[in-house]
Chain A
Amino acid sequence: MERLTTLRAFRDFRKRIAEPPPESGPTLVICAGTGGQASGSNDILRVIKRTIVEKGLSARISIRVTGCQGFCEMDPFIVVEPGARLYPKLHMEDVPRIIDAAVRGEVVEELLYRSRGEESIRYDSQGEIPFFKHQKRLILGRNAKIDPIRIFDYIKKGGYSGLEKVLERNEPAWIVEEVLASGLRGRGGGGFPTGRKWKLAKASSAPGTQKYFICNADEGDPGAYMDRSLLEGNPHGIIEGMAIGGIAIGATRGIVYVRTEYPLAIKHTLIALRQARELGLLGENILGSGRSFDIEIVRGAGAFVCGEETALIASIEGRPGEPRQRPPYPIEKGLWGRPTCINNVETIANVPLIFAMGSGEYAKIGVPGNSGTKIFSLVGKVMNTGLVEVPMGTTIHQIVHEIGGGSNTGLRVKAVQTGGPSGGCIPADRFDMPIDYDTLTAAGSIMGSGGMIVMDENTCMVDVAKYFMAFLKDESCGKCFTCRKGTQRMHEILDDITKGKASLDDLALLEELALVVKDTTMCGLGQTASNPILSTLRYFREEYLEHILHKRCPAGVCKELVGAPCQNACPVGTEAWRYVAHIARKEYDEAYRVIREANPFPSACARVCHHPCESFCRAGKSGGEPVAIRALKRFVTDTADPGAFQAKVPKAYKDAPKVAVIGAGPSGLTAAHLLSLTGCRVTIHEAESKPGGMLICGIPAYRLPREVLAREIASLMNENIDVILGSALGRDISVDGLLNDGFDAVYVAIGSHQSRRLQIEGEDAKGVLPGIRFLKAFNLEGEELAAGRVGVIGGGNSAVDAARVALRQNKVERVTIFYRRTIAEMPAYREEIEAALEEGIEIVPLVSPLAVVVRNGKVAGVRFARNALGDYDQSGRKRPVPVEGSEFEEEIDTLIAAIGEQPGTSCLSGLGLSKSGTLAADRRTLATDRPGVFAGGDVVTGSKTVIEAIAAGKKAARAIRRYLDGEPLEEPATAVLPGVFIPAHEGAKDEEPAARVRPPALSVKERAFCFDEVDRCIGEQEAIHEARRCLRCDLEFTQPDAEHGGAAAAGTKGNRA
């Protein structure tokens, strides 16, 4: 290559190479950055080359191997130009088809990108894909357009035009002014205005002093890799930016300090440097301007602290990478004691852009004070992992949900962690916050280099803080005492918290220490080391307290507190691992006993429990499927003899304490049963004509057969319990009356039985039914209130139940559910929604009722407005916003309003209510503000699940017993860990683990219009196979009993509540 010596020669050269080749066919663009190569892009590339040669297509198709394009989730992918068709996650065998289609100008439809969850929508071009559509890819976009090892590619696409302009003016002061005017701030995290730094560097020391311009590519944050991608994908962009910076401050030597762990980045940069030198864009007298600048590479050994500028300088000088106290700043005294300007890779990548587009235009991007774009590496529990470039001031919502596609686990996103180990966590309810340096700092985090780790609800914030502290403890250089010992001690306390060994004093000490470490350390690493703790404490203090006071890890992460995740997740603490192990050993009666010990409603829960145990099951993590624990429970309750469990009922003596339980739902019955076993005399008052509460009023018989429920309730009764049916609180009895009648304690568990009103016109017309009234009329009395065209408003379980019950009534023609959000956002259980759809119920999403149309005093229809999705709300879902002029009327004969239930509180006179309008009770003891009166279940929590109501009943029974015995109400908290050793099953070791079992169900035809139970029990072989899929998390905590030789322990009864 000929060395260019004048600006004119360079311009001619650009013109010469920019001429398009005569006939350019389609181009295959392959993303082959480090991430792409790790996903197999090299294999794809090999197949492409072979196919092209074999088919003799080399003249008709071209390929371009680029650096990272950012969509790492979809690697390896190919983009076919023109048309920008993106084929993601390719396999080698797909490649020939794509090449054939590309040559013919066609599209391979089935291989095009589709977003997960909405497979029906395909995206014809890259720009339409939400991941790309919502970004502004000024810097990353160039990665896709050039082959990083071809300088011609870069020059063709307008590369080095910034340098060209700079050399034309040949005026360093102007460069500095332009950068100042652009408002560019340091992308390494600090956000110091780059122009100001350059101005200081330019002014520092006498002219003629050797100065240095350093590119800091020591990127070490876990999960951040934007700097690597820029060096790999567009090294000439960095070289150009450095040359401009060098000329601006008067440096003639530049250094790229890059980690040895980035071999591809080093390789590409070395090639680019050679090319730039050969072409005369680096070196002495660049393009005849009289300016000289050259760049060399220094490889860092990969210490995190070497990203700190004084440590980086020490490392380049060959000393250990340790920071020194500033001042003097490197701008005055840097490398070898000379003025040195250090900028981050991404900052430098922005510089050519400023000169190419003009500082005025550049300053318009983003928000005032924070101009330009920022690249984030979006990782963690998010659908679209990758590099994301957005203008400053974009909200976290937009990045996480619109670009990132939201959580990839189906759970809600709880927080994002920005800024790497020295950054902080920002909770989901602050996701409407714009991202810029100042807002992030005010929120207790930092921009850092732009790592963004998305965390879902199964992430424990204490564990996150501990993880980062462990990282910092190892990466602290150890020079200054508060950083070295401070991070060690903070980690020590966090470790104690996650193991349940810490007290509130330790938490106070942790906070005190964190503030001192932030205040007193030498360099940026230490000064920000407390951020993970301080920000999680600021937003998630509750979680810390939960660990410390209640010895619980709500996210199910901290092993020493969680034990087996299934047991930890269960509100009543059922030892799921234990009965699953018994099933694997074919010990069904043992299994039944384990279930029944924890849960007085095993058969009901085997059918209707929302099984949190399965959501936390480790077999379901990292791509697997959780053990079907509920189906196994169903198998046990259907198979084993309920007589295997015999509760011992002590005789209640004459002067035994008397307890009144109001409400015979799952919570009241549980409390009554357990209290009766402690020798109390219990009287249950139930307002309805049958006991069972929501189990009978709300849950239809096709989900929970009535004889199963009746049998279960009967088994809980004994001679210590009296049931009075038809006796309602407020009408027939009162709390005062009961206390006056000699009851020592009262448990209020009246549930949540009032349907919320729609608050629209015509709601009181005939034919409009509250959901619960409709269900009760049928479930208790057999009355069929629905007729003709039935509309159900709501998206929860009671809405779907009401719809499916209505469908089974004789006079009903058709049933439609109207919901204000999308079907995917309906809170009802997935399987219920699917069953409803299968049965022929129509669901109309994104509509809100405006008014009930009333004719002759009776409902004739409903006027709806269609909704569009607006901004994100606190729950991370898009808010439905009515569309103007979208109103329509739907003819309806029966309207069921099932938008949620609340407790009827008019009967609770004399008891305090909570802010949300439910009965107020202490979370741990369930005591109300009146001594001797306890409350639990839905009346306290609002509509929740069966198992939570049972858990409240258990808790109430214990608290009431302690109250009666005159003991303090609060129980000491202990972590519940597996305590009984059950040997592994004896079976063939090489048995293939079966896939998760699917319980059989009645076909749609069989179940139409009848109330036979839909879900059926699995068979014995299936159950054993399923149980053997269990990973046996318990074995980590239990030991074979040495004395009895292990196996004997299996038969012993673990006496645990």
Chain B
Amino acid sequence: MINLTINGLNVSVEKGTTLLEAAHFLGFPVPTLCHMEGLSPYGACRLCVVEIGEGPRARLVSSCTYPAEEGLKVRTASERVVKARRMIIELLLASCPQSKVIQDLASAHGVMRQRFKQEYETCILCGLCVRMCEEQMMAKAIGFRGRGEKRSIGTPFDAVSGQCRQCGGCIYVCPACTLRCTYTEPEKAVCGACANLQPPCIEKDRFHDMMCYMDPCVACEIKKD
């Protein structure tokens, strides 16, 4: 067993446990986007960063990939962590405001605006779908292509994949599109899921029983085509 401290609480965990699992075990909330039980840790979204070490050697690491170490002191919500997390959420909102998951994250962390140029991307490249397809569905139908700005997810050469069984697992795990906000027209929703949960746009007539955390709601700003 490995003993470590998380936010001042001592905890013993088995060797190989990640800091994220240990923190969740103690009940500390650590937000994640690219992590899912049953899929291998990936460390791409950086939302789960926690602070380890002390003094000048203190640093942020992604808790989903970092193995518990003997005597490690972990802080899951230090000022440095919260500041970083809020900036990451702001970046997410700037790229993918229509995601309900991201909007919820924003509201939970008190991020009420984003200061970058608004983009409307449909993917945050968290890689959940790629790992789902490979590790759980054993299909390997999709993967990453390109680098940096040009990185994207798709089938080889964008051709219809013979490996894909259209199981829908990729869509099921997607934080950016499964719960896609319906803009102002619920009937055009991709899945309608958000309309049943915590839908946005309280200001609009047709959404009087709904709520939205963004002020102003970036999703509502999207021009209808």
Which parts of A468-509 form the interface with B (CB within 8 Å)? 473-482, 484-489, 492, 505-506, 509
Q: Among B144-152, B163-171, B194-202, which stretch is in contact with chain A?
A: B144-152
For B87, what are the chain A residues with a Cβ–Cβ distance below 8 Å? 512-513, 516
20 A-B residue pairings within 8 Å (CB atoms): A320-B144, A325-B43, A325-B65, A325-B66, A473-B148, A475-B147, A476-B147, A478-B148, A479-B144, A479-B151, A481-B125, A489-B91, A489-B116, A512-B87, A513-B87, A519-B60, A520-B60, A521-B46, A522-B46, A522-B62
**A324 CB-CB contact with B under 8 Å:** yes
Contact A519 B147 (CB under 8 A): no
Contact A478 B84 (CB under 8 A): no
Q: How far is the CA of A479 from the CA of B125 in the complex (A)?
A: 7
- Nearest CB of A to B84, in Å: 5
**B219 CB-CB contact with A under 8 Å:** no
For B149, what are the chain A residues with a Cβ–Cβ distance below 8 Å? 473-474, 478, 484, 488
Q: How far is the CA of A478 from the CA of B146 in the complex (A)?
A: 8
- Nearest CB of B to A55, in Å: 55
Contact B84 A520 (CB under 8 A): yes
Contact pick for A492, options B44, B67, B92, B116, CB 8 Å: B116
Mask, A318-361, CB within 8 Å of B = 1, is 00100011011000000000000000000000000000000000
Total of A-B residue pairs, C-beta within 8 Å: 96
Whether A481 contacts B115 in the complex (CB less than 8 A), given A324-B43, A327-B67, A474-B148, comes out as no
Q: How far is the CA of A305 from the CA of B61 in the complex (A)?
A: 19
**B83 CB-CB contact with A under 8 Å:** yes
**B80 CB-CB contact with A under 8 Å:** yes
Return the chain B residue nearest A474 by Cβ. B148
Contact B147 A485 (CB under 8 A): no
Whether A476 contacts B148 in the complex (CB less than 8 A), given A481-B88, A482-B91, A519-B60, comes out as yes
- Nearest CB of B to A602, in Å: 45
Contact A475 B84 (CB under 8 A): no
Most buried by A among B59, B125, B126: B125
7 interchain residue pairs of minimum CB distance: A478-B151, A325-B65, A325-B43, A516-B87, A476-B148, A520-B46, A482-B46
Q: How far is the CA of A787 from the CA of B223 in the complex (A)?
A: 85
Q: How far is the CA of A166 from the CA of B167 in the complex (A)?
A: 60
Return the chain B residue nearest A305 by Cβ. B147
**B117 CB-CB contact with A under 8 Å:** yes
Contact A520 B147 (CB under 8 A): no
Return the chain A residue nearest B45 by Cβ. A481
Which parts of A295-322 form the interface with B (CB within 8 Å)? 303, 305, 320
Most buried by B among A305, A488, A489: A489
- Nearest CB of A to B80, in Å: 7
Contact pick for B148, options A320, A477, A489, A506, CB 8 Å: A477
For B147, what are the chain A residues with a Cβ–Cβ distance below 8 Å? 303, 305, 474-478
Whether A481 contacts B44 in the complex (CB less than 8 A), given A320-B144, A327-B66, A516-B83, comes out as yes
Contact pick for B91, options A473, A474, A481, CB 8 Å: A481
For B60, what are the chain A residues with a Cβ–Cβ distance below 8 Å? 519-520
For A489, what are the chain B residues with a Cβ–Cβ distance below 8 Å? 91, 94, 116
Q: How far is the CA of A485 from the CA of B88 in the complex (A)?
A: 9
Return the chain A residue nearest B91 by Cβ. A485
Interface residues of B, CB < 8 Å — how many? 36
For B103, what are the chain A residues with a Cβ–Cβ distance below 8 Å? none
Which parts of B17-66 form the interface with A (CB within 8 Å)? 41, 43-46, 49, 59-62, 65-66
**B95 CB-CB contact with A under 8 Å:** yes
Q: How far is the CA of A487 from the CA of B91 in the complex (A)?
A: 11
**B124 CB-CB contact with A under 8 Å:** yes
Contact B66 A516 (CB under 8 A): no
Return the chain A residue nearest B96 by Cβ. A485
Which parts of B158-198 form the interface with A (CB within 8 Å)? none
Q: How far is the CA of A721 from the CA of B34 in the complex (A)?
A: 76
Return the chain B residue nearest A478 by Cβ. B151
Contact B91 A480 (CB under 8 A): no
Contact pick for B84, options A477, A487, A516, CB 8 Å: A516
Residues in chain B within 8 A of chain A (CB atoms): 41, 43-46, 49, 59-62, 65-67, 80, 83-84, 87-88, 91-92, 94-95, 115-117, 124-127, 144, 146-151
Residues in chain A within 8 A of chain B (CB atoms): 303, 305, 320, 324-325, 327-328, 473-482, 484-489, 492, 505-506, 509, 512-513, 516, 519-522
For B150, what are the chain A residues with a Cβ–Cβ distance below 8 Å? 478
- Nearest CB of A to B182, in Å: 25
For A475, what are the chain B residues with a Cβ–Cβ distance below 8 Å? 147-148
Contact pick for A520, options B41, B49, B66, CB 8 Å: B49
Q: How far is the CA of A478 from the CA of B121 in the complex (A)?
A: 15
Return the chain A residue nearest B115 by Cβ. A509
- Nearest CB of A to B128, in Å: 13
For B95, what are the chain A residues with a Cβ–Cβ distance below 8 Å? 485
Contact B125 A484 (CB under 8 A): yes
Return the chain B residue nearest A508 by Cβ. B115
Whether A481 contacts B148 in the complex (CB less than 8 A), given A505-B115, A509-B115, A516-B84, comes out as no
For A522, what are the chain B residues with a Cβ–Cβ distance below 8 Å? 43-44, 46, 62
- Nearest CB of A to B72, in Å: 12
- Nearest CB of B to A516, in Å: 4
Q: How far is the CA of A522 from the CA of B88 in the complex (A)?
A: 14
For A505, what are the chain B residues with a Cβ–Cβ distance below 8 Å? 115
Contact A480 B148 (CB under 8 A): no
Whether A481 contacts B146 in the complex (CB less than 8 A), given A325-B65, A325-B66, comes out as no
Contact A482 B88 (CB under 8 A): yes
For A303, what are the chain B residues with a Cβ–Cβ distance below 8 Å? 147
- Nearest CB of B to A482, in Å: 5
- Nearest CB of B to A1022, in Å: 51
Most buried by A among B45, B91, B127: B91
For B144, what are the chain A residues with a Cβ–Cβ distance below 8 Å? 320, 478-479
Contact A479 B115 (CB under 8 A): no
Q: How far is the CA of A324 from the CA of B41 in the complex (A)?
A: 10
Q: How far is the CA of A523 from the CA of B215 in the complex (A)?
A: 35
Q: How far is the CA of A480 from the CA of B47 in the complex (A)?
A: 10
- Nearest CB of B to A510, in Å: 10
Q: How far is the CA of A474 from the CA of B149 in the complex (A)?
A: 6
Q: How far is the CA of A488 from the CA of B117 in the complex (A)?
A: 11
For A512, what are the chain B residues with a Cβ–Cβ distance below 8 Å? 87
For B80, what are the chain A residues with a Cβ–Cβ distance below 8 Å? 519
Whether A480 contacts B84 in the complex (CB less than 8 A), given A474-B148, A489-B91, A489-B116, comes out as no
Contact A484 B88 (CB under 8 A): no
Return the chain A residue nearest B117 by Cβ. A492
Return the chain A residue nearest B80 by Cβ. A519
- Nearest CB of B to A942, in Å: 42
Q: How far is the CA of A492 from the CA of B91 in the complex (A)?
A: 13
Q: How far is the CA of A476 from the CA of B148 in the complex (A)?
A: 5
Contact B148 A519 (CB under 8 A): no
Q: How far is the CA of A481 from the CA of B35 in the complex (A)?
A: 13
Most buried by B among A474, A476, A484: A484
Q: How far is the CA of A473 from the CA of B87 in the complex (A)?
A: 18
Contact B91 A486 (CB under 8 A): yes
For B41, what are the chain A residues with a Cβ–Cβ distance below 8 Å? 325
Return the chain B residue nearest A471 by Cβ. B148
Contact B66 A484 (CB under 8 A): no
Q: How far is the CA of A850 from the CA of B45 in the complex (A)?
A: 70
For A509, what are the chain B residues with a Cβ–Cβ distance below 8 Å? 115-116
Contact pick for A481, options B46, B61, B65, B117, CB 8 Å: B46
Q: How far is the CA of A485 from the CA of B121 in the complex (A)?
A: 12
Most buried by B among A305, A488, A506, A516: A516
For A474, what are the chain B residues with a Cβ–Cβ distance below 8 Å? 147-149
Return the chain A residue nearest B95 by Cβ. A485
- Nearest CB of B to A203, in Å: 18
For A487, what are the chain B residues with a Cβ–Cβ distance below 8 Å? 148
Return the chain A residue nearest B121 by Cβ. A485
Contact A479 B44 (CB under 8 A): yes
- Nearest CB of A to B40, in Å: 10
Whether A519 contacts B44 in the complex (CB less than 8 A), given A327-B67, A478-B151, A488-B149, comes out as no
Return the chain A residue nearest B127 by Cβ. A479
